[in-house]
Structure 1
C-alpha cells in the first residue's frame, strides 16, 4: 500500500511539474517581442543606466570643481562634500541598479537576481552610513556649529534611511533566509513581494526628493544671490536635479511596464513555479 501511494504521489507531482513547464513555455512564447518592443526596452534601460551613473558623475564633478574636493574632520566644510556624493552613490546609483536588475537580468535564475539585488543594496549601506556621519561631523565641528535635523531635507532623508533599513532587513530575512524552508514559506514570500516592491520604489522616490531638497538648500546657502544670476555652478546644480527628476520618471515607467518583466518571474511571483 505504501509503495502504491508513493508511486501515485510521484505520478501526480510529475504531472503537475509537466503542467507548469507547459505554462512556462506558453509564457515564454508570449514574451517574444517585436522589434519595436525591444527598441523601447533597450532605450529606457540604457537611459536609466546613463542617468544613474551620470547623476553620480555630475555630483562628483560639482564637488571637486566648485566645492574644493574632499577632506576629513580637520576641514568640516570639505568633509561635508562627502555627504552628497556618498548619498547619491548609495541611495540613487546602487539602489537604482538593484531595482533595475529585475528588468535587466531577464535570462538569469531568480535566485541569482536576488543575490545581486542584495549585493547592490549591501554596497549602498556603507555609503549611506559614512555620508550620514560626515554631515553630522561637518555641522557639529563648524564654527559656529550648525543645527541638525531642522530642515525638510533632513527630515525626508531621515525617513528615507529608516525605510531603506527596514526594506533591507525584511528583504534579506524573507527572500534569502526563508529560502532554507522554501516550501513552508512560499505563500508568505509571494504575498510579501508586491509590498516589498512598492516600498522599494517609494524609498527610491523619497531618496530623489531628499537629494533635490538638499541640492536646493546647498545652492541657496552657498551661492546666495549668485544662484539667481544662473552662474555656472548654479547650472550644474540644476542639471543634477533635472537628471534626478528624469531618473524618477524613467524608473517608474520601467517598473510599471508589465511587458518588461520576464514572464517566468511572474509565474514565480504568483507561486506557480
Structure 2
C-alpha cells in the first residue's frame, strides 16, 4: 500500500517534468537554434557597425561639436539615428525571439524601454541636424529639402505613433484582451515595416553624407580611410538589418509562451477599483 501511494505521488511530477522537457525541446529545437545563431550574428554586426562608425566620426571626420561648430555638430546626427532608429529598434523587435526562455513580462518591459530610449536618441539626432543647418556658415542651409529628410520624418512619425499606441494597448491595463489580440498582428507587421523604413532612411542619409563630405572621393577621386570606414559602417548596418529581418519575418520563430506564463499587463489594474 505505501509503495502504491509513493508511485501515485511520483507520477504527476514525472508528467510535469515530461511536459517541461517537451516545451524545452520545442523552444530549443534545431530549427530554433538557427534563430539563436542569427541573433548572435546580429550582435556581431552591431559591434562592427559601432566600431566603424566611431572610427569614421572621431578619427577621420573631426569628431563632434555644438552649435558654434555646425559641421561637427552634424556628425552627431548619424550617430544618434543609427543607434536610436536602427540599432535600438532592431534590438527591441528581436528581443522576444532572441531570449525566448526569459519570462515575457521581462522581455516586454525591455522592448518598451529600448524603444523609448531609441525615441530619445532620435529626437536628439533630429535636433542636431536642424541646428547644423540653421547655424551653418556663411548662411543657413534650408531644412527638409531632400528625400532622405522626408522619409526620415515619415519614419519618425510612424515610429512615435507605434510606440505610444503600443504602450496604450499592450503595456497599460485598460485595453481588453480582444483588442490586444486583434491589434497584435498589426503591431507586429507595422514594427517590421517601420524598421525597413528606418534602414532605407539610414542608407539614404549615409549616401547623402558621403556625396557631401567624402572629398577624397568626390573631389580627388581617391579611396581614403574615411571612405573605407564609412563604407564599413554602411555594410555592417546592412548586414545587421538583414539579420533582424530574417528573425522577425519567420512565423515559425514566434516566441511560444512558457508553461508558467499568463497574460499580465505591465501596469496592472487595482483589483479594489
TM-score (norm 2): 0.80
Relative to its length, the structure with more helix (as a share) is 1
Distance 1:25 1:191 in 2: 30
Give the direction of change, closer, same or farther, for the CA distance of 1:137–1:90 in structure 2 (3 Å limit): same
Alignment match, 2:211: 220
Give the direction of change, closer, same or farther, for the CA distance of 1:172–1:263 in structure 2 (3 Å limit): same
Pair 1:44 & 2:44 matched? no
Q: CA deviation at 1:129?
A: 0.9
Alignment match, 2:161: 166
Distance 2:20 2:177 in 1: 22
In the alignment, structure 2 segments of 5+ residues that lack a partner are: 1-15, 264-273
Say whether the 8 Å CA contact 2:77–2:125 is kept in structure 1.
yes
Length, aligned pairs only = 241
Say whether the 8 Å CA contact 2:60–2:225 is kept in structure 1.
no
Alignment match, 2:8: none
Q: CA deviation at 1:49?
A: 1.5
Pair 1:61 & 2:55 matched? yes
Alignment match, 2:196: 205
Q: CA deviation at 1:167?
A: 0.7
1:28-43 equivalence runs, <5 A:
28=23, 31-34=26-29, 36-37=30-31, 39-43=33-37
Alignment match, 1:233: 226
Q: Which has the higher contact order (CA 8 A, sep 6+)?
A: 2
In the alignment, structure 1 segments of 5+ residues that lack a partner are: 1-20
Pair 1:188 & 2:179 matched? yes
Alignment match, 1:246: 239
Q: CA deviation at 1:142?
A: 0.4
Say whether the 8 Å CA contact 2:82–2:202 is kept in structure 1.
yes
Pair 1:257 & 2:247 matched? no
Distance 2:252 2:20 in 1: 16
Residue aligned with 1:264, SS: coil
TM-score (norm 1): 0.80
Pair 1:150 & 2:145 matched? yes
